[in-house]
Amino acid sequence: MAVYFLLEVTLIVRKKGPAKMKIRKLFVIFLVIFIFGCGYISVRTPFILSGNNYQVQSINEGKLRILSWNIHKNVNDINWKNDFIKIVSEKNPNVILLQEVRLEMNIIKLFKDNLQMGWEFSPNLFQGKYDAYAGVMTASYIRPTMAKPALSSGTEPFTKIPKPVLFTRYNIGLETRKLLIVNIHCINFKIDLNEFKEQIRYVAGEVMAHDGPVIMAGDFNTWSKNRLEHLDTIVKELELVKITFSSKSNYVKTAFGNPLDHIFISKEKLEVVKGSEDVLADINSSDHKPLFVELRVLQ
């Protein structure tokens, strides 16, 4: 939550004009010290790391149980591990999309030994303090036929850290039909929309090139009305619909009153299993709540 407080301070200072430039400079110095104190080094070229523990080659049961969660690099937290195992036990997701994953041995062993899942990982930074990469991870029992990493062309201010996207494609029964899953963490601390739009535009191009159902989920950092409106416009052009969580929607992570985390699906090729939509409000081991939904692949 502290990062959004810092962003709010930036906005306030910016609105005050030249008289507050000294405060703004002090804030910038503080932010730079904070970031580099954590040992963040940006990744400039996208690449994939994989855990090859997949159990099946295709989605044959016709249902997908999707869990999407920004875990805030809490992989060393025993409370997070207990929460995660509890979620998997209760919800039995067959595809898990995580953002802000720090790829350490404990999470690798968790997926291999406890969950027996394979995974693909797209890093956007290296955290020297932990000697580990951080980024987005997509895990499943189903072996992807394609895994493609991408980094935003725009970067976060001062740190020059890009934001990651991970595309994975899966067989769904017939070999001629493929499911595309997009795991995204959007550019955050930029006041203007240009680099946010550019990242979304790139993702939209990949989605439009895919012939088959699509799931797009993650932390979109839609902390402003303008960001939300732009994302909604693109989603409609892609013929995707947003999963709504009805009474649980108030538990979705917000900033400045706007939701940050979303799940979108192809409206003509996938449908929600009624009543499956859930925001796991009792989970407190991250500053984001996990999102869950069960989907049916339409024939």
Verdict on whether the full-model pTM lies above 0.85: yes
Residues 156 and 32 in one domain: no
How many domains in the chain? 2
223: containing domain: 39-297
Residues 91 and 114 in one domain: yes
Place of tokens 């062993």: 109
Amino acid at 67: L
Q: How far apart are CA 252 and CA 275, in angstroms?
A: 17
Residues 93 and 121 in one domain: yes
Residue 8's pLDDT is what? Answer: 46
Residues 29 and 72 in one domain: no
Residues 182 and 102 in one domain: yes
Residues 165 and 245 in one domain: yes
- Joined together, the tokens standing for residue 24 give 């703004």
Residues 152 and 4 in one domain: no
Residues 30 and 87 in one domain: no
Q: How far apart are CA 264 and CA 4, in angstroms?
A: 24
Q: How many residues does the chain have?
A: 299
Residues 10 and 80 in one domain: no
Residue 211's pLDDT is what? Answer: 92
Residue 133's pLDDT is what? Answer: 97
**Bridge partners for 164 per DSSP:** 151
Residues 46 and 104 in one domain: yes
CATH code for the domain in which residue 180 is found:
3.60.10.10
| Contact of 182 with 146, CB cutoff 8 Å | no
- Joined together, the tokens standing for residue 216 give 């797009």
Report phi then psi at 259, rounded to 5. -70, 145
Q: Which of 101, 133, 141 is nearest to 117 (CA)?
A: 141
Residues 242 and 205 in one domain: yes
Residue 75's pLDDT is what? Answer: 81
Residue 60's pLDDT is what? Answer: 76
Residues 25 and 158 in one domain: no
Q: Which residues contact 5 (CB under 8 A, 6 or more apart)?
A: none
Residue 292's pLDDT is what? Answer: 98
| Contact of 91 with 65, CB cutoff 8 Å | yes
Instruction: List alpha helices for 43-77, DSSP H.
Output: none
Place of tokens 């990062």: 3
| Contact of 48 with 146, CB cutoff 8 Å | no
Residue 25's pLDDT is what? Answer: 54
Query: Is residue 253 classed as helix, strand or coil in its secondary structure?
Result: coil
Other C-beta atoms within 10 Å of 184: how many? 25
Residue 1's pLDDT is what? Answer: 45
Residue 150's pLDDT is what? Answer: 98
Q: How far apart are CA 223 and CA 258, in angstroms?
A: 5
| Contact of 72 with 100, CB cutoff 8 Å | yes
Per-residue pLDDT of the chain (299 residues; tens, 9 = 90+): 444 444 544 444 444 555 555 555 555 555 555 555 467 899 999 999 999 999 999 987 778 999 999 999 888 888 999 999 999 999 999 999 999 999 999 999 999 998 999 999 999 999 988 899 999 999 999 999 999 999 999 999 988 999 999 999 999 876 678 999 999 999 999 888 999 999 999 999 999 999 999 999 999 999 999 999 999 999 999 999 999 998 899 999 999 999 999 999 999 899 999 999 999 999 999 999 999 999 999 86
Residue 21's pLDDT is what? Answer: 55
